[in-house]
Amino acid sequence: MAGNRTVTSKGLALGAALREARVSAGHLNLSRFAERLGRSPATLSRWETGQRVPRPEDVAQILGVLGITGEPFEDILALTHDTGSSSWLAVSLPEQRRHLEALLRFERDARRITMVTPLLVPGWLQTPDYARAIMTAGGAPQDEIESRVRTRVGRREVLRQTELTAFVGHAALVQQIGGRDVMRKQLEFLLNRGKNVDLRVIPFATDWHPALEGPWSVIEPAQGTTVVYLENRRSGLFLHEEADIAAYREAAESVRDVALSTDESMRLITDEIHNLER
């Protein structure tokens, strides 16, 4: 609701979208733009950082001054609804699109990301051929596959300055997505990942651990509120409550306890590459 003092994932997404729209329109000076709106710079800053949630009419005014119309207008305005919820669930296709846009913004602003993926290589570590194979076999519309691949691979470019920790299940290394050649090149890419990526493999020979419940990400910004992101085939979910964040941080530490070291993980990946070359 307007003036909401609780920082929520949807409020953060709304603020980031407003900030991005302002900068993209060439209004780089927040104070001058606030003056044009007849608002104080402090108010506009709190809106853009998600510390306060503007009313729908406030957002409409901002977008009008920026000259934003059509679908972009509707997408940003839709973020003003139900901003005080303890989570943000996306099921419909329009809401899933807004979820993806928010996820990309959260990732771009992140200082640290911890991702747990028991069955697949994490999206931002996938090669184009690996990502394309998943989307093709998964039934993505043929005319959207290439743009989706570019979006997924492009996520890696904006994360070069982000500290990334990936806990990847051993199953992800042996599932031959796209065939042996595609999988071999994917594993080779993991060996040559950036220095900012700490990749740990979760071996088969472990007892129960939280990664067996499915994939999740903990996204921590340089400043502001940490969010957890979970997704499945039909929906996505953002969590931002302190208890939820604490639970997933604890779960990540439990996964770390059973995962191989970085060096052990690289040796295992090398072994799997050799298996594919036989």
Chain centroid, CA 107 distance in Å: 5
pLDDT in tens, 191-222: 998 889 999 999 999 999 999 999 999 999 98
Coil, strand, or helix at residue 140?
coil
| pLDDT for residue 6 | 64
CA nearest to 237, candidates 29, 96, 37 = 96
Residue 2: which pLDDT band, with cuts at 50, 70 and 90? Answer: very low
Q: Higher-confidence residue: 3 or 77?
A: 77
pLDDT exceeds 60 at position 85: yes
Instruction: Give the right CATH number for 9-78 from 3.10.129.10, 2.60.120.560, 2.40.37.10, 1.10.260.40.
Output: 1.10.260.40
Q: Mean pLDDT, to the nearest integer, of 3-19?
A: 79
Question: 57 vs 53, 72, 210, CA distance in Å?
Answer: 11, 16, 43
The more confident residue out of 24 and 159 is 24
Domain boundaries, the chain: 9-78, 87-277
Of how many residues is the chain composed? 278
Report the predicted TM-score, pTM, of the whole model to 2 decimal places: 0.83
- The CATH number of the structural domain formed by 87-277 is 3.30.870
Question: What is the rounded CA–CA span in Å between residue 50 and residue 14?
Answer: 7
- Above pLDDT 90, what percent of the chain? 69
**Cβ–Cβ contacts within 10 Å for residue 85, how many?**
15
Q: How many Å apart are CA 94 and CA 20, to the nearest integer?
A: 19
Q: Report whether 202 contacts 118 (CB < 8 A).
A: yes
Residue 3: pLDDT band (50, 70, 90) is very low
Phi-psi region of 141 (alpha: psi -120 to 50; beta: other; left: phi over 0): beta
